[in-house]
Copies of this chain bind each other. A is one copy, B any other.
Amino acid sequence: MVDELTVINMFLEIFGQPRKLFSEIGDDVAWTKKAVKRDKFAIKADMLVGKTDVPKGMSLRQAARKSVVACVSDFACKGVKPWGMLVSIGLPKGFNEEHILEIANGLKDARNEFDIEIVGGDTNEASDLVIDCIMFGWGKNIVSRDGAYIDEYVLVTGDFGLPPLGVDILSERKKIRSPRLTEKAIESVLYPRPRLNFGLIACNRKLITAAIDSSDGLAISLYELAQRSHVDIFLDELPMNETLKNNNELSEKEKREYTLYGGEEYEIVFTCKIKDIPKVLKVGEETGTPVRIIGRTVEGNGKVFFKGELVERKGWTHFKG
């Protein structure tokens, strides 16, 4: 395996030293050059493992970007502005410099896209590819999962169903004749787009009462909001992707399954007071984010219904192999 110093130097060549705020990479700890006075501090780690989190057909560069997207998406729905990140990497023995450059470029893509400094990390030899992205940042008004009350609206950004179909296509469990749907589904898996700007602005303006990122699937995300907030959720419509909806190769049941139980969407599922709906839609317009109302909260204790029928509490199961 390439040794750690070589890896670090290759990484530095690709994405350079932190441009501001932080000490240079190369010491054991990253720190700010000046003292800090800000809002609430937030931090999270998301470990991507090759075997379970990288679908067939995803490049290392895309996988590395994805490890950052997972953190960005969680920060987005809580209104936490990322301040920096660390990346701990486990490299399989057979990995060569080309593999490592791919990973470095994927991290650089994410850094540029979301404007988050990479301030440090660690590398090791491991049996699997492991990318543990650690992100930290600040939020004035951090939104949790338990803040919804009854008589609020339930909304989502974007739409659902494409990424799990894409995973099935990539792993050859599913074949779709429509080139348009195939392409869109694959693109949605390989290049997920978290809703950072929308989340930051909407949380900052205190328009969101509870939120969760949908990467484990729509149904389980709704259940989480409902259970933590001690309400029931009544869905009036499913935020199914239009291209998926219009396809006639898949059965209605399949489409619903993909939409409700698929996951990997990196959208924001959230609740909002009725009076704030116009303001939320305005944030959607400002940030170019599609936002739609899919239901409302009612008295209850953690159940989710779609048109009167109980939705199963099941979520994204990591694909194997």
A→B interface (CB under 8 Å): 23, 27-49, 51-53, 74-75, 78, 80, 84, 86-90, 119-128, 130, 132, 134, 136, 139, 142, 144-145, 212-213, 318
Give the contacting residue for A47; candidates B40, B43, B44, B122; CB below 8 A: B122
CB of A132 within 8 A of CB of B35, answer no
State whether A86 and B45 are in contact (beta carbons under 8 Å apart), knowing that A27-B145, A126-B130, A130-B126 are contacts in the complex: yes
Find chain B residues with CB under 8 A from A121 CB: 45
Give the contacting residue for A44; candidates B42, B74, B120, B132; CB below 8 A: B120
Find chain B residues with CB under 8 A from A126 CB: 49, 51, 90, 126-128, 130
> What are 26 contact pairs spanning A and B, CB under 8 A?
A28-B44, A28-B212, A29-B43, A29-B74, A29-B80, A30-B42, A30-B44, A31-B42, A31-B78, A32-B40, A32-B42, A35-B38, A36-B41, A43-B84, A43-B120, A43-B136, A45-B134, A46-B122, A47-B90, A47-B122, A47-B123, A51-B127, A88-B134, A90-B128, A127-B128, A130-B132
CB of B45 within 8 A of CB of A132, answer yes
Whole-angstrom distance from the CB of A66 to the nearest CB of chain B? 14
Find chain B residues with CB under 8 A from A74 CB: 28-29
Q: How far is the CA of A120 from the CA of B41 in the complex (A)?
A: 13
Find chain B residues with CB under 8 A from A46 CB: 88, 122
Q: How far is the CA of A127 from the CA of B35 in the complex (A)?
A: 41
Closest B residue by C-beta to A89: B47
Whole-angstrom distance from the CB of A10 to the nearest CB of chain B? 18
Q: How far is the CA of A123 from the CA of B32 in the complex (A)?
A: 29
Closest B residue by C-beta to A123: B47
Q: How far is the CA of A90 from the CA of B124 in the complex (A)?
A: 13
